[in-house]
């Protein structure tokens, strides 16, 4: 299954004045040196070819062909400078439109038929020094009897997302193995290393959700709402929020993933938004069901508070 597109330019009256047929015709005039020869090459009646060129000239207000004289064929036609400019502009417009169509199709139909699901990178490489114990221990620490990371993973619906956990810790890798969740190693300790490893593991996607592994009260309902928001607006940057304040996780559309993969150091996606009005204007917030969905685990006290919040939820 694949999308298709025919890019047309319409006149003020709504009629087509330029599109795939006329541009092909003009390009063949340029190659063959004759409107008649171009029409024959396309299997088109000469009267139709002249009408297409005339209608376009009337719409644009300048000539597209000019007569040539002499030569073995007794003369013909060549393209005007305005026609060459028009062809270049139209082909650029067509390429851009096709790219946008493909991106929108992959997003709107992600997980449908043979279209790949959206990606999801679970960030699980942090040392968790404030939590104490072994490095990365907080991710496998029990929260009401279930590891923190396992609770986070439970909120990520497999029918919508292809999930990869990125870590540096054996305990996290072991947990993922028991749960049957894909896990890869980050090449370095920086946040950018984790993001890049996840994106490389997922390959081409129409969008990618970045989730911190220590966000155990995140709900599947909210994740589904994030995906639905991107599906309805394929260029949006969708963030979970509480009372209008954006936080994690963040769902990024396809045209931003290359820039995310090129980040360096401890910079996360926020650095792309800072000072970039166009990207900031694309941010859409999805309200969480409660403020605890946005909470992460930095210390044992945080874990205790989340355990109390979980008990109140139930």
pLDDT on residue 30: 96
How large is the average pLDDT for residues 240-264? 96
- The rounded mean pLDDT for the chain is 94
What pLDDT band is residue 212 in, cutting at 50, 70 and 90? Answer: very high
What percent of the chain is modeled with pLDDT above 90? 84
Segments making up each domain of the chain, as ranges = 9-108, 118-313
Place of tokens 């989340």: 306
Q: 145 by DSSP, 3-state: which?
A: coil
Q: Is the pLDDT of residue 254 over 80?
A: yes
CA distance 209 to 216: 16
pLDDT on residue 269: 86
Segment 6-51, tens digit of pLDDT: 889 998 889 999 999 999 999 999 999 999 999 999 999 999 999 9
- What is the gyration radius of the CA atoms in the chain, in angstroms? 28
Residues across the chain: 314
How large is the average pLDDT for residues 293-305? 96
CATH architecture of 118-313: Alpha-Beta Complex (3.90)
pLDDT on residue 266: 84
Helix then strand then coil, in percent of the chain rounded to 5, is: 45, 20, 35
Reference 214, options 265, 267, 153; nearest CA is 153
How large is the average pLDDT for residues 105-118? 93
Segment 217-244, tens digit of pLDDT: 999 999 999 999 999 999 999 999 999 9
Question: Would you identify the CATH topology of the domain 9-108?
Answer: Arc Repressor Mutant, subunit A (1.10.10)
Segment 54-98, tens digit of pLDDT: 999 999 999 999 988 755 555 689 999 999 999 999 999 999 999
CA distance 11 to 270: 43
Q: Is the pLDDT of residue 185 over 90?
A: yes
Segment 129-163, tens digit of pLDDT: 899 888 889 999 999 999 999 999 999 999 999 99
CA distance 148 to 314: 17
Q: Is the pLDDT of residue 267 over 80?
A: no
Q: Is the pLDDT of residue 301 over 70?
A: yes
How large is the average pLDDT for residues 274-286? 92
């Amino acid at each position: 299954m694949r999308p298709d597109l025919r890019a047309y330019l319409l006149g003020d009256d709504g009629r087509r004045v330029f599109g795939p047929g006329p541009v092909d015709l003009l390009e063949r005039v340029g190659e063959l040196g004759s409107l008649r020869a171009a029409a024959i090459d396309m299997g088109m009646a000469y009267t139709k070819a002249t009408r297409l060129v005339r209608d376009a000239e009337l719409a644009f207000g300048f000539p597209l062909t000019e007569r040539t004289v002499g030569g073995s064929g007794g003369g013909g036609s060549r393209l005007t400078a305005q026609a060459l400019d028009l062809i270049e502009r139209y082909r650029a417009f067509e390429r851009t439109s096709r790219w946008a169509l493909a991106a929108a199709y992959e997003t709107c139909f992600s997980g449908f038929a043979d279209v790949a699901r959206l990606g999801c990178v679970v960030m699980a490489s942090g040392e968790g020094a404030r939590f104490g114990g072994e490095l990365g221990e907080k991710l496998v620490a029990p929260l009401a009897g279930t590891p923190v990371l396992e609770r986070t993973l439970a909120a990520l619906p497999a029918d919508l997302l292809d999930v990869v956990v990125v870590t540096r810790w054996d305990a996290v890798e072991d947990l993922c193995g028991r749960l049957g969740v894909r896990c890869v190693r980050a090449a370095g300790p920086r946040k950018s290393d984790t993001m890049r490893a996840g994106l490389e593991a997922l390959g081409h996607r129409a969008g990618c959700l970045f989730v911190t592994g220590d966000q155990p009260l995140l709900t599947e309902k909210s994740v589904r709402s994030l995906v639905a928001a991107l599906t309805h607006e394929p260029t949006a940057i969708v963030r979970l929020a509480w009372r209008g304040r954006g936080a994690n996780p963040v769902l990024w559309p396809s045209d931003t993933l290359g820039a995310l993969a090129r980040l360096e150091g401890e910079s996360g996606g926020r650095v792309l938004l800072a000072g970039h009005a166009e990207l900031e204007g694309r941010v859409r917030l999805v309200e969480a069901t409660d403020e605890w969905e946005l909470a992460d685990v930095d210390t044992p006290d945080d874990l205790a508070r989340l355990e109390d919040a979980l008990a109140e939820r139930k």
